[in-house]
Structure 1
Amino acid sequence: MTRKNRLDEIADYTRFIKKLYDEFLPQLADDVEVILFGFSQGCATQVRWVMRVFPVFHHLVLWAGLLPEDLDYTPHTDYFFGKKLYWVCGNQDQFIDKKRTQWHHDFMKEQSLHFETIRFEGKHLINRKVLHELFLKIR
Structure 2
Amino acid sequence: MEHHIDFNFSAPFYTLNELTDQTTDVWIACPGYGQLAKYFIRRFDVFDPNKHFVIVLQGLSKFYLPDQKNVGASWMTKEGRETDMQNQRSYFDAVTNELFRGNSLNNYKVHLMGFSQGVSMISRVAAHAKIDFDTLVLWAGGFPPELKPVDFEHLNAKAKLKVVLGSQDEFYALDKNYQPEVDKMEAAIGLKPEIIVFDGIHEVKREVLASCID
| Structure 1 residue 124 displacement after superposition | 0.5
Q: Secondary structure at the match of 2:109?
A: coil
Offset at 1:108? 3.2
Report if the CA contact (8 A) 2:133-2:155 is conserved: no
Structure 2: gaps (5+ residues): 1-75
Partners of 1:28 and 1:71 in 2: how far apart? Answer: 22
3-state SS of the aligned residue for 1:87? Answer: strand
Identity in percent = 31
How high is the TM-score relative to the length of structure 1?
0.81
Q: Structure 1 residues 108, 38: CA separation in 2 closer, same or farther (over 3 Å shift)?
A: closer
Compute the displacement of 1:8 (Å): 0.3
> Paired residue for 2:192, among 109, 114, 120?
114
**Alignment match, 1:124:** 202
- CA-atom RMSD in angstroms: 2.3
Deviations 1:29-80 (A, max 9, x none): 93x21111111111101111222221243221111223212321x2245323
Task: Describe the shift of the 1:104–1:7 C-alpha distance in structure 2 as closer, same or farther (beyond 3 A).
Answer: same
Contact conserved, 1:80 with 1:113, CA < 8 A, in 2? no
Matched, 1:52 2:142: no
- From the superposition, tell whether residues 57 and 4 of structure 1 become closer, same or farther in structure 2 (CA, over 3 Å): same
* Matched ranges for 1:59-138 at <5 A: 59-72=135-148, 74-76=149-151, 78-82=153-157, 83-97=159-173, 98-111=175-188, 112-135=190-213, 137=214
SS in 2 for 1:4: coil
Alignment partners' CA distance in 2, 1:68 and 1:29: 25
Indicate conservation of the 8 Å contact 2:135/2:161, yes or no. Answer: yes
Q: Residue 18 of structure 1 contacts residue 49 of structure 1 at CA under 8 Å; is this kept in 2?
A: no
Measure, in 2, the Cα distance between the counterparts of 1:39 and 1:59. 14
Q: What TM-score, normalized by structure 2, do the two folds share?
A: 0.55
Distance in 1 (alpha carbons) for counterparts of 2:204 and 2:88: 23
- Larger CA Rg, structure 1 vs 2: 2
Higher helix share: 1
Please list every run of at least 4 consecutive aligned residues from structure 1 whose deviation after the TM superposition is greater than 4 angstroms: none
Unaligned 5+ segments in structure 1 are none
State how far apart, in whole Å, the 1-side matches of 2:83 and 2:92 are: 14
**Higher strand content, 1 or 2:** 2
Contact 1:34 1:56 in 2 (8 A): yes
Where 1:49 maps in the other structure, the secondary structure is helix
The answer to whether the 8 A contact 1:93-1:124 is kept is yes
- RCO greater where, 1 or 2, for CA within 8 Å and sep 6 or more? 1
